[in-house]
């Protein structure tokens, strides 16, 4: 009978603090964006079926805020991603 060698445990690479922070900030921004978009969509839907509210007025008030929120959050997330790629390319060159 032959004995099988005991497999060595492979250590997982430690995530750097900056990468961990970037991940958490990205997750928080994404969660905030999802909650905000859901809240705005619900307010759109409630405004559409409310008889005492003029639909045109609801869209006039919420549309600029909706566009600003979406644009700002997506810009922030893409900026984080670009900075992360920039850091990786600098370390590869060294």
pLDDT tens for 13-70 read 666 787 788 888 888 888 888 898 888 888 878 877 878 877 777 778 778 888 888 8
Q: Is the pTM of this model over 0.75?
A: no
Q: What is the Cα–Cα distance from 50 to 38, expressed in whole angstroms?
A: 18
77 vs 29, 34, 62, CA distance in Å? 8, 13, 22
Write the secondary structure of 20-76 as one string of H (helix), E (strand) and C (coil): HHHHHHHHHHHHHHHHHHHHHHHHHHHHHHCCCCCHHHHHHHHHHHHHHHHHHHHHH
Q: Is the pLDDT of residue 93 over 70?
A: no
């Amino acid at each position: 009978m032959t004995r099988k060698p005991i497999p060595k445990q492979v250590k997982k690479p430690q995530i750097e603090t900056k990468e961990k922070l970037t991940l958490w900030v990205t997750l928080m921004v994404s969660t905030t964006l999802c909650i905000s978009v859901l809240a705005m969509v619900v307010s759109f839907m409630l405004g559409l079926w409310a008889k005492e509210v003029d639909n045109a007025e609801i869209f006039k008030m919420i549309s600029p805020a909706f566009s600003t929120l979406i644009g700002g959050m997506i810009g922030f997330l893409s900026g984080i991603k670009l900075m992360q790629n920039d850091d990786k390319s600098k370390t590869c060159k060294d």
